[in-house]
């Protein structure tokens, strides 16, 4: 009993008291809280999107950085296209239109499963990338912490996981703080930066490290496409609002649509602001070294605010917080999506288990584990993780938009052509980005995801097939159970004592046909057992088996086989006296014979193994 309650207390300390089902309904979101909760993923990508563009361009020299402005503008344009495209999803799927559902409904189960695989990967990558970028913001401000980057990332994963096992996603108000703190800080940074640039007050930014080696390659289309592909990280998270429509206050669709457009506008503003200012302030990406690494945003904030003062630290803190919030979003999305996929029987049903606190605990644990593995494998380096991030995001974008096109074509309705056209533009645009990412980032890690998606789809299918087979085997249609009326009960004993007497008592209650079985390994001991049996055997016949190999198991299993053969269709029950020690470590002092017998008989039909517990008090 003691370990049960010890574990219980520990669990309660970590994840809190159970929450009753009737409290499951979330507080509905206003536009203000909705923006805070649903836009953290999209907005937070501003922290690394510009950086990823210039880190690629610098390879062709400082002059090539000028190309970042047109690349940024193309990405901003795409972002708006995708946002308007998703705005249509809001109206078409007021109950929440994730890529899995949209693709499955309109393009068929395979497309749905591809979208599902892409999304699950996407969520894992969101956690890894956001935490890595959040840690990068911290170590930009505090370079001496750079050596502990991986450990800090892992600590974040653990804290967010515990928070989510407790069910923190319920409280929207707390989450508004980091998002609005970030929006305000970044807008202040951009406004100050623009003002200084216009008034000619740009001070040179002193690099805090070695600049990235530049000019090692000529500027060419491939390089520009790679920079573009990297910059498209700015678009991640745009879909979040369309997934969360039912969480809004009524009128849900209208509130969600407005929130989406506000978010898109903020995204474009912040992303273009950082990109333009990085050019204006001649920010150059630095080489990562053991001494640390300073992000573009950190350099920019230093330059604009004239050093590491309060405004600088505010920007870094806000960036870290919103990135952690973005990671937290995936901790709500991954378990929810995996529970939906499990409900459709494409994932193990354990993903549907809701814990005491109404969280899908298994999804949270799997996500934490995978994100932790990625952070360790890539040493918490955002730049190394990015190529793996993009594939999942754009596969799901493309399938979702393509699904919408199909939906409009099939359903028709007023103005369906213009709706379909808008989604088609979205699908083609995101599809093109997908191709660009797959080609330019293939060798850097995109291949892993291109390989994983079909593997996951095949696994989903095999899980589905298994459940279908089980359902078929369990089906009661045309089922005529055999008549079984007899139960032969065997009680294997290793001596005569209270636990055996109790097991015998139980055996006699459950069947009139009981036999005790003893394996003879020592003549004197056998004689003693036979003697005591006369007193305590309660009229139950004692079968004594001989053992050639001293093994107790083999003769016993042979005898069970033989008894089973007497009435092949009826039940045979093995009743075992089983000690329940007073302390868990006392288990180590007893042979686990009951366990062995259970293991050996597990695969035998019509054979039931029953332990009658005998409780040791000390």
Name residues contacting a second copy, limited to 485-504 (CB under 8 A): 485-487, 496-499, 501-502
Question: Is there binding between residue 547 and a second copy (CB under 8 A)?
Answer: yes
* Separation of alpha carbons 394 and 399, rounded Å: 8
Smaller CB separation from a second copy, 348 or 431:
348
Structure tokens at 195: 């003002």
Structure tokens at 468: 């279908």
Smaller CB separation from a second copy, 565 or 589:
589
Smaller CB separation from a second copy, 123 or 346:
346
Question: Is there binding between residue 1 and a second copy (CB under 8 A)?
Answer: yes
Question: Is there binding between residue 450 and a second copy (CB under 8 A)?
Answer: no
Query: Taking CB under 8 A as the criterion, which residues in 220-239 touch a second copy?
Result: none
Q: Which of 151, 356, 444, 520 binds a second copy (CB under 8 A)?
A: 356
The binding track of 556-595 with respect to a second copy, each residue x by CB under 8 A or -, is: ---------------x-x-----xx-----x-xxxx----
Applying CB under 8 A, the site for a second copy has a residue count of: 74
Question: Is there binding between residue 358 and a second copy (CB under 8 A)?
Answer: yes
Is the bond leading into 21 cis (omega within 30 degrees of zero)?
Answer: no
Question: Is there binding between residue 254 and a second copy (CB under 8 A)?
Answer: no
Question: Is there binding between residue 349 and a second copy (CB under 8 A)?
Answer: yes
DSSP assignment of 272-335: HHHHHHHHHTT--PBPPBTTB---HHHHHHHHHHTSSSHHHHHHHHHHHHHHHHHHHHHHHHHH
Q: Which of 109, 207, 209, 348 binds a second copy (CB under 8 A)?
A: 348
Q: Which of 536, 544, 545, 557 binds a second copy (CB under 8 A)?
A: 536
Question: Is there binding between residue 478 and a second copy (CB under 8 A)?
Answer: no
* Separation of alpha carbons 99 and 125, rounded Å: 17
Rounded to whole angstroms, the maximal C-alpha distance in the chain is: 108
* Separation of alpha carbons 550 and 530, rounded Å: 19
Q: Which of 142, 435, 450, 470 binds a second copy (CB under 8 A)?
A: 470
Question: Is there binding between residue 479 and a second copy (CB under 8 A)?
Answer: yes
* Separation of alpha carbons 419 and 115, rounded Å: 22
Which runs of consecutive H residues, i.e. helices, occur in 344-415? 361-377, 382-411
Question: Is there binding between residue 25 and a second copy (CB under 8 A)?
Answer: no
Q: Which of 463, 540, 544, 545 binds a second copy (CB under 8 A)?
A: 463
Q: How far is the CB of 113 from a second copy (least distance, A)?
A: 17
* Separation of alpha carbons 196 and 276, rounded Å: 13
The DSSP H or E segment spanning 554 is helix 553-566
Question: Is there binding between residue 354 and a second copy (CB under 8 A)?
Answer: yes
Question: Is there binding between residue 534 and a second copy (CB under 8 A)?
Answer: no
* Separation of alpha carbons 219 and 225, rounded Å: 11
CA dihedral 302, 308, 311, 317 (to 10 degrees): 90
Q: Which of 290, 443, 474, 523 binds a second copy (CB under 8 A)?
A: 474
The DSSP H or E segment spanning 519 is strand 514-520
Q: How far is the CB of 462 from a second copy (least distance, A)?
A: 10
**Whether 489 contacts 515, CB under 8 Å:** yes
Q: Which of 30, 148, 214, 350 binds a second copy (CB under 8 A)?
A: 350
| Segment interacting with a second copy (CB under 8 A) among 176-184, 200-208, 424-432, 479-487 | 479-487
SS3 (DSSP) at 610: strand
Q: Which of 475, 562, 565, 568 binds a second copy (CB under 8 A)?
A: 475
């Amino acid at each position: 009993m003691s370990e049960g309650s010890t574990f219980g207390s520990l669990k309660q300390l970590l994840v809190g008291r159970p929450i009753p089902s009737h409290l499951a309904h979330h507080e509905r979101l206003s536009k203000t809280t909705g923006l805070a909760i649903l836009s953290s993923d999209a907005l937070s990508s501003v922290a690394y999107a510009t950086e990823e563009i210039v880190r690629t361009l610098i390879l062709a020299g400082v002059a090539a950085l000028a190309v970042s402005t047109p690349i940024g503008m193309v990405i901003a344009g795409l972002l708006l296209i995708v946002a308007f495209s998703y705005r249509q999803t809001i109206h078409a799927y007021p109950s929440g239109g994730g890529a899995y559902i949209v693709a499955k409904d309109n393009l068929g189960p395979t497309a749905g499963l591809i979208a599902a695989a892409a999304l699950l990967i996407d969520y894992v990558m969101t956690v890894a990338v956001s935490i890595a970028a959040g840690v990068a913001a911290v170590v930009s401000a505090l370079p001496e912490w750079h050596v502990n980057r991986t450990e800090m990332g892992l600590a974040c994963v653990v804290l967010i996981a515990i928070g989510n096992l407790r069910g923190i996603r319920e409280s929207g108000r707390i989450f508004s703080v980091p998002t609005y703190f970030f929006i305000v800080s970044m807008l202040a940074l951009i406004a100050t930066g623009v003002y200084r640039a216009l008034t000619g007050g740009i001070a040179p930014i002193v690099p805090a490290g070695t600049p990235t080696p530049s000019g090692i390659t000529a500027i060419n289309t491939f390089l520009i496409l790679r920079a573009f592909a990297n910059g498209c990280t700015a678009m991640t998270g745009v879909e979040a609002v369309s997934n969360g429509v039912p969480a809004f206050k009524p009128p849900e669709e209208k509130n969600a649509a407005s929130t989406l457009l506000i978010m898109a506008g903020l995204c474009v503003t912040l992303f273009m602001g950082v990109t333009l200012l990085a050019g204006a302030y001649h920010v150059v990406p630095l080489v990562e070294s053991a001494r640390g690494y300073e992000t573009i945003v950190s350099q920019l904030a230093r330059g604009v605010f004239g050093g590491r003062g309060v405004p600088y630290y505010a920007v870094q803190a806000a960036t870290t917080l919103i990135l952690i919030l973005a990671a937290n979003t995936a901790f709500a999305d991954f378990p929810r999506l995996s529970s939906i996929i499990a409900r459709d029987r494409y994932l193990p049903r354990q993903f549907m288990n809701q814990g005491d606190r109404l969280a899908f605990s298994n999804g949270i644990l799997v996500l934490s584990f995978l994100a932790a593995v990625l952070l360790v494998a890539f040493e918490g380096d955002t730049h190394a993780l990015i190529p793996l991030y993009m594939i999942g995001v754009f596969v799901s974008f493309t399938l979702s938009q393509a699904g919408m096109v199909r939906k409009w074509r099939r359903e028709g309705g007023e103005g369906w052509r213009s709706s379909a056209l808008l989604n088609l533009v979205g699908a083609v645009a995101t599809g093109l980005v997908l191709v660009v990412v797959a080609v330019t980032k293939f060798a850097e890690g995109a291949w892993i995801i291109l390989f994983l998606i079909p593997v996951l789809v095949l696994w989903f299918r095999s899980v589905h097939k298994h459940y279908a087979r089980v359902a078929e085997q369990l089906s009661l249609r045309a089922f005529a159970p055999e008549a079984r009326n007899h139960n032969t009960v065997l009680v294997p004993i290793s001596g005569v004592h209270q636990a055996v007497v109790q097991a015998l008592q139980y055996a006699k209650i459950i069947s009139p046909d009981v036999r005790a079985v003893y394996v003879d390994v020592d003549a004197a001991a056998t004689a003693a057992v036979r003697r005591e049996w006369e007193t305590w055997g309660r009229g139950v016949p004692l079968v004594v088996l001989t053992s050639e190999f001293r093994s107790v198991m083999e003769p016993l299993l042979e005898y069970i086989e033989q008894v089973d053969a007497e009435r092949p269709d009826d039940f045979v029950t093995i009743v075992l006296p089983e000690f329940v020690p007073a302390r868990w470590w006392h288990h180590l002092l007893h042979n686990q014979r009951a366990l062995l017998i259970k293991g050996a008989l597990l695969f035998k039909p019509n054979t039931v193994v029953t332990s009658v517990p005998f409780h040791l008090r000390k």
